[in-house]
Amino acid sequence: MISSVTDSVSIGTSKSFPSFGRHGIKPCQHDTCSQPFGKPNLCCQKADHKRCAQGEKLYKGLKTFLQRTLHISTRSKSHKVETLEESKAIIRELAAQLGRVSQCGENLQSSSVDDSYSLAECRLFILQWAKELDSLPQVSGPVELCESWEQYEEVEKTHPEQADRRLKTAQKLLSIWASELEERPQGSVCAAEDVRSVLEDLGRRWKRGQLPNMLPALDFIMWSVLQDKPLKGGIPYLWLKSKQRFRSQGAVDHIPDIVWNMFTESYVNIVLDQNTAHPDFVFSPDRRQVRVRQFGERQGASRSRDRFDGWWCVLGTEGFSSGRAYWEVGVVGKEDWRLGVVRGSAPKNGFIDLNTRSGYWTLRLQRDSLRALSVPAKDLPLSQPLSTVGVYLDMEEGQLSFYDAERRRHIYTFNHSFKEEVFPIVGTIEIDTDLIILPQPNP
């Protein structure tokens, strides 16, 4: 039962704290003295009394600033510990109530190894779930929440007091929902087959040491309890889409089998459109492989608004205006590629910025650097080289997601309401390694 999950949600303290910025003081151009820094003597024989007074005021202001910075630093560390303890208590409370009302946790047995969550993991869990629960009539109200984890991090940097207030609001929403769960009878929520399948998958991975902690299981159990009457797509699919929408980067470390099968059900066989291709491209006979010609082999081509003549890119022949589509691209051994979709009316000529502002939603690899070309661009972690990239487009949900298909890990999601037809796009500048559109594997 999920009571075992409750036992395993023992949250350790975080050993890291955010660093504070340093305000440097520009030294005098002629100052070569190595004496210890002390109270500056801003008076000189030619300086008048007024300038001395200004220097004294400057020194006092600097001293006050340093004292306040030291005080804030000490207080912030104490506050972080307090916030972590509050977050741990709320997650424990939720785990206890979920274990009492749900029947879907028997495959997740407790472990003798305690889980250890950082403050960032706790905050992410609470903020995301507060965003989900805010849509419930009995919980929602005039609250101020962040739309995404990235937005919260930005607010925390610029307005820490606002970030703290939003976290407090999120904690309150989760506490309210935990209290409401107390009114449900024990074992009143029965898991559907797809929910049990995902939990069995997560349980196996946890026992093998492939999951660092139990938060993914707890997170999914919350979804199964919340969605008594799941909408189109089923609970596993809705759970994944929710996580990707709140945290577009690195939302899910492992995609459960049942959700991955939903992707492959939408597999499309992409064929590249030579009429849109950069003239330096050379294709395989089936138009699924592409590379750049050797310099001496380059061919001229008439200029066309539908053809790339700056960046080395090509579109797929088939566009999408509705539904879902999934395809995979082989990038083994490649150090340069671009993958994603583009708006049908987006400009193609010249070296324009191929980003979301101009109608391009793509990831770009350049050597060991992987970026999502949003505005501004986002650097993405790349711990291991990618061999197969899965691209999943959901027009109704307004999501374009990228996955490490070999390891079944989420890489990044663009959340956007697509208003017109979009086309697959690939790009590369390499002359010795093909970019390969992989055919649908045999069942």
CA distances from 431 to 144, 355, 393, 435 (A): 51, 24, 29, 10
Rounded to the nearest 10°, the torsion over CA 258, 259, 260, 262 is 90
CA atoms within 13 A on the CB side of 203: 18
User: Does the global pTM surpass 0.85?
Assistant: no
Q: What is the DSSP letter of 198?
A: H
Helix ranges (H only) for 14-105 are 49-101
State the DSSP H helix or E strand holding residue 4, giving kind and residue range, or none if neither. Answer: helix 3-8
| Strand-pair partners of 337 | 365
Tokens 């190595």 found at: 34
Contact call for residues 390 and 234 (beta carbons, < 8 A): no
Confidence (pLDDT) at 56: 58
Contact call for residues 382 and 400 (beta carbons, < 8 A): no
Measured over all CA atoms, what is the biggest interatomic distance in the chain, rounded to whole angstroms?
90
**25: Cβ contacts below 8 Å, ≥ 6 apart:** 62
Confidence (pLDDT) at 7: 40
Confidence (pLDDT) at 84: 76
How far apart, in whole angstroms, are the C-alpha atoms of residue 221 and residue 199? Answer: 8
Confidence (pLDDT) at 39: 35
Confidence (pLDDT) at 240: 78
User: How many other C-beta atoms lie within 10 A of the C-beta of residue 410?
Assistant: 23
Confidence (pLDDT) at 110: 42
How far apart, in whole angstroms, are the C-alpha atoms of residue 9 and residue 1? Answer: 14
Phi and psi at residue 237, to the nearest 5°: -65, -45
Three-state DSSP class for 282? strand
Q: Domains plus CATH for the chain? A: 98-250 (no CATH), 274-438 (2.60.120.920)
Instruction: Find, among 116, 96, 93, 117, the residue nearest to 2 by Cα.
Output: 96
Instruction: Find, among 241, 243, 288, the residue nearest to 262 by Cα.
Output: 241
Contact call for residues 374 and 412 (beta carbons, < 8 A): no
Which amino acid is located at 160 in the chain? P
Confidence (pLDDT) at 107: 41
| Strand-pair partners of 102 | 189
Confidence (pLDDT) at 153: 77
DSSP string, 371-424: EE-SSS-EEE--SS--SEEEEEEETTTTEEEEEETTTTEEEEEEE----S-EEE
CA distances from 223 to 35, 186, 198 (A): 63, 18, 12
Give the model confidence (pLDDT) of 327-378 as tens digits: 999 999 999 999 999 999 999 999 999 999 999 999 999 988 999 999 999 9
* Ramachandran bin of 251, using left for φ above 0, alpha for ψ from -120 to 50, beta for the remaining angles: alpha
**10: Cβ contacts below 8 Å, ≥ 6 apart:** 114, 115
Each residue's pLDDT, cut to its tens digit, for the chain (443 residues) gives: 444 433 433 333 333 323 323 333 333 333 333 333 333 343 444 445 555 555 555 555 555 544 544 444 444 555 566 677 788 788 777 777 777 776 664 443 343 334 566 777 788 788 877 877 776 554 444 456 777 667 777 788 888 888 888 888 888 888 887 777 777 777 666 666 667 777 777 777 777 776 666 677 777 777 777 665 544 556 677 777 777 876 677 667 778 788 888 888 999 999 999 999 999 999 999 999 999 988 756 566 567 788 999 999 999 999 999 999 999 999 999 999 999 999 999 999 999 999 999 999 999 999 889 999 999 999 998 888 999 999 999 998 899 999 999 988 899 999 898 989 999 999 999 999 999 999 988 76
Q: What is the DSSP letter of 296?
A: G
